[in-house]
Structure 1
């Protein structure tokens, strides 16, 4: 399953929030291929169960089942601290100690700053930042006594740069970058590695309108040295590195997977 034992995470229980579709589901699929027992999480139980069935019946799911791995679905609201406590407890009861947490829950709302609704600001903060704090804190409380664990926050290209119409989103993703660094400072003495992945522009269900906009899509391709939109599978390699013993001395970092966009003017 691996080319080097440092990348072997088979048998690890991995919780992936916001994993009913898009990037989260792709990351969960990558962890399943690596031999993890994968726990999917989102708020919508029906959508989450459909994702679980999709993974379980995939080729990776069948191979995982043969090796003793499983795919579970545990719905809870990451913005509700009480629900997070109960949900994380249920995950460990049903799947064993969480060795890898991927904080992927997120949302976007595009609107000019002067017209941005108050409720959308609060919703973005809760979904993109508060959920990572609540879930990360609760999982870390269980990892710390065990002296090990990997927490991977899904940040964004917008943790570093922004453009008109997405100021609140960029603020939350910038906050997530600093939450990652702060969690590293607090948790590294307990053997927990906290890092982040910063995706650039990726072709997902949530970006279909942007991909279909030829003017914007051409801008993305022209602005990205790699000359294309990202495919969700492009994120799996960075995830497996940060989830594995290969990154045991990597802490508090954001790995940008953006085709080089953050490197050029």
Structure 2
């Protein structure tokens, strides 16, 4: 017997692979777009046709990003302010893509950490990400589409002295995003993480200021070097676009093979 086509269903429409990564007609919000990975993510999304809102606590830095390419607007957003996040979700309208690149670190051994330092790292790396998902996720679910992307780290799976609290927030963020993927997936919203290795950003400036430390990190990945912020942008475009339409609840490592070779180094703390 020849299987019959279920009522109302026909053969799938052919895929135009030339437009697989295009984001025309989509609105993206990039948190932390004033510098580093956030800035390059915003530029890459705009280059693929998205209308991009560059959100940053430093409005001048966000405005500097908007001057680098067309299709970008700036928005002041302090993600440590819960009310500001709620207002942003209301004011920015229908958001199809949310990228969270904001993060901080205090490099100290656990015994030397103060409660205030612990709170500072947890508040930005984990609590703010939770608030962003809570604010923007429901609107995406109501519209039946959306992609939420947050940056974790190789430290979500491998740690070193002085990185305990940062690593804990990144591991926690992975599970938070997986839960969001499970909860929002039935409504057509995808949620994923990108885990960079060592990247030349303002956050890693203290490391790169110590020649021995910088050189040791450079040799601990399979590619034997640090990455640039623009080398993370392709992963952002991929996860924002239809190229990843069946990808959710995952952590994409863009680490130059660091976790593959299990690079180790004991830094000064």
SS at match of 2:121: helix
1:192 to 189, 193, 198: 189
Task: Kindly provide the CA deviation profile for residues 168-219 of structure 1, in whole angstroms up to 9, marking residues without a partner as x.
Answer: 0000000111111111110100100000100100011221221232211221
Where does the alignment leave 5 or more consecutive residues of structure 1 unmatched?
A: 65-69
Q: Does 1:81 align with 2:87?
A: no
CA distance in 1, matches of 2:120, 2:66: 32
CA distance in 1, matches of 2:61, 2:195: 27
Give runs of ≥4 in structure 1 deviating > 6 Å: none
Task: Kindly provide the CA deviation profile for residues 122-153 of structure 1, in whole angstroms up to 9, marking residues without a partner as x.
Answer: 11111001111111111111111110000001
SS at match of 1:201: coil
Kept in 2: contact 1:84–1:135 (CA 8 A): yes
2:52 to 38, 41, 46: 38
CA distance in 2, matches of 1:98, 1:81: 18
Q: Does 1:98 align with 2:95?
A: yes
- Quote the residue 1:67 is aligned against: none
CA distance in 2, matches of 1:57, 1:261: 34
TM-score (norm 2): 0.88
Where does the alignment leave 5 or more consecutive residues of structure 2 unmatched?
A: 1-15, 263-269
Instruction: Please give the root-mean-square deviation of Cα atoms over the aligned residues, in Å.
Output: 1.5
Structure ranking higher in helix proportion: 1
1:61-210 matched pairs, under 5 angstroms: 61=69, 64=70, 70-92=71-93, 97-210=94-207
1:3 CA displacement: 6.8
Kept in 2: contact 1:79–1:134 (CA 8 A): no
Q: Does 1:26 align with 2:27?
A: no
Bigger radius of gyration among the two: 2
CA distance in 1, matches of 2:79, 2:207: 27
Q: Does 1:259 align with 2:256?
A: yes
2:225 to 224, 228, 235: 228
TM-score (norm 1): 0.89
CA distance in 2, matches of 1:209, 1:120: 17
Q: Does 1:55 align with 2:65?
A: yes
CA distance in 1, matches of 2:18, 2:157: 33
